[in-house]
Amino acid sequence: MLKFIPIKAVAGIVGFESPAAEYTQLSLDLDQLLIDHPSATYIGIADGDSMVGDGIFSGDLLIVDRALEIKDHDVVVANLNGVFVCKKVNKSKRCLMSSGDNVPPYFLQEGDIFQVEGIVTRSIRLHRPF
């Protein structure tokens, strides 16, 4: 089990005694912190740069929750015609939107095979990939 120090770390400040020295370490379970519905959650890996406007970069871990109800503009992982995609959903326009530059929205059409696999609740940047 990891130890958790309940302070924010400001990037860029150096040369001071650690303010964490005054805090007691608390036990932290990353599952409890990151996963709301353990039996309905899986982890995927982002591929590509179409969602960088939402802070999702290629290689990031995606925590995907299948227990949540989809709302407009949720970021989801979905199966679109046999390809897994990570996009924002616009339910009223039946549209999948990217947040990267120069990526047009995709409007679902008759005959598309489309299944939402879950809502991306969190993404984790790996600074040292697998």
- Check 3, 18, 39, 50 and give the catalytic one: 50
Express each pLDDT in 16-73 by its tens digit.
Answer: 555 555 555 666 678 888 888 989 999 999 999 999 999 999 999 999 999 999 999 9
Q: Look up the pTM and report it.
A: 0.78
Please count the residues of the chain. Answer: 130
Alpha-carbon distances of 48 from 16, 84, 117, rounded to whole Å: 39, 12, 18
- Check 18, 39, 71, 87 and give the catalytic one: 87
> Beta partners for 94?
none
Confirm whether 27 is a catalytic residue: no
Residue 37: closest CA among 19, 63, 16, 13: 63
Confirm whether 87 is a catalytic residue: yes
Q: Dig out the tokens for 21 from the structure.
A: 């020295």
Give the CB-side neighbour count of residue 69, counting CA atoms within 13 A.
Answer: 1
Express each pLDDT in 65-122 by its tens digit.
Answer: 999 999 999 999 999 999 999 999 999 999 999 997 788 999 999 999 999 999 999 9
